[in-house]
Structure 1
Amino acid sequence: MKFASVRLPARDVAQLVPFYESLTGIPAAWANDQFAEIVLPGATIAISSRGLTDAFAASSIEPAANRTVMLELLVDDVDAERDRVAELAGGLVMEPTTLPWGNRSLLLADPDGNVVNLFTPVTPEARAKFGAR
């Protein structure tokens, strides 16, 4: 088994895709006006409309209702990203904080309220885990 992607059902695909393009710096690959992918090294963020999913599995998803899953993106310097991403999100959920397991993280919410963790490993153990220098 190989992890392929995380799909985010969106209230408004045309609003959510530009947020993730700006956050990651990677342009989306659009399949149609209801589905796009941001292909990152290691995984893909897929964004689709509820209508697309409902066509095959009615009422199986609910956009903007996530309170369980957090997207985590490894960045070179989370503190350097802080001001840029705060503007994208309209504010942060959590300011940059060094966590007990050795990552320095900040949390922000996308336009649908999905929480995104940008983090940088800062302890020797965390840097080794992620192959960072």
Structure 2
Amino acid sequence: MNLRSLRIITADIKRLVGFYESVTGLTAKWHTEDFAEIGTASCILAIGSTKTLAFFGGEIAEPTANKSVIIEFLVDNVDNSYELVRNTTDDILQQPVTMPWGNRSILFRDPDGNLINFFTPATPEALNRFK
């Protein structure tokens, strides 16, 4: 098994795709006006409008209702990324800090309220986990 994609359903796809393009520096690939993907080396962040729910049988997901998932991105330098994030959103929950497990991390929300963690391994143990 291989986790390949994470999908966010949103009521405002253009706004959300634009936000993720801004904070990641990556360009989305639009497949239709209601579905786009932002690809990284290890996973795809898919973003679909609420219209795409019809293909799954109806209203099975609710935009802006996430209260338990954190979307995590491994970045080269979390402190540099913080400056970019700070210029993109005011909804920052945690400035750069080194966590007990060795990752340096920032936590913020996207326009739909989803939690996002940008992190960089900061200790030798953490660096070993991501080799």
Q: C-alpha deviations, 1:37-74, integer Å up to 9, x for none? A: 00111000000011211343211000111011111001
1:1-133 matched pairs, under 5 angstroms: 1-131=1-131
Q: C-alpha deviations, 1:58-102, integer Å up to 9, x for none? A: 110001110111110011111111121022122311111111000
- Structure 1 distance, partners of 2:36, 2:14, is 9
Deviation at residue 23 of structure 1 after TM alignment: 1.4
* Structure 1: unaligned runs, 5 residues or longer: none
Instruction: Tell me which moved more, 79-88 or 64-73.
Output: 79-88
TM-score (norm 1): 0.94
Query: 1:49 is aligned with what amino acid?
Result: S
Q: Is the 8 A contact 1:86 1:108 kept in 2?
A: no
- Structure 2 distance, partners of 1:19, 1:112, is 10
- Structure 2 distance, partners of 1:55, 1:76, is 37
Instruction: Tell me which moved more, 105-114 or 84-93.
Output: 84-93
Q: Percent identity?
A: 44
Q: Where has structure 1 moved over 3 Å in runs of 4 or more?
A: none
TM-score (norm 2): 0.95
Q: Is the 8 A contact 1:6 1:46 kept in 2?
A: yes
Instruction: Tell me which moved more, 89-98 or 6-15.
Output: 89-98
Matched residue pairs, number? 131
Root-mean-square deviation (Å): 1.0
- Structure 1 distance, partners of 2:79, 2:4, is 29
- Structure 2 distance, partners of 1:40, 1:8, is 16
Query: 2:93 is aligned with what amino acid?
Result: V
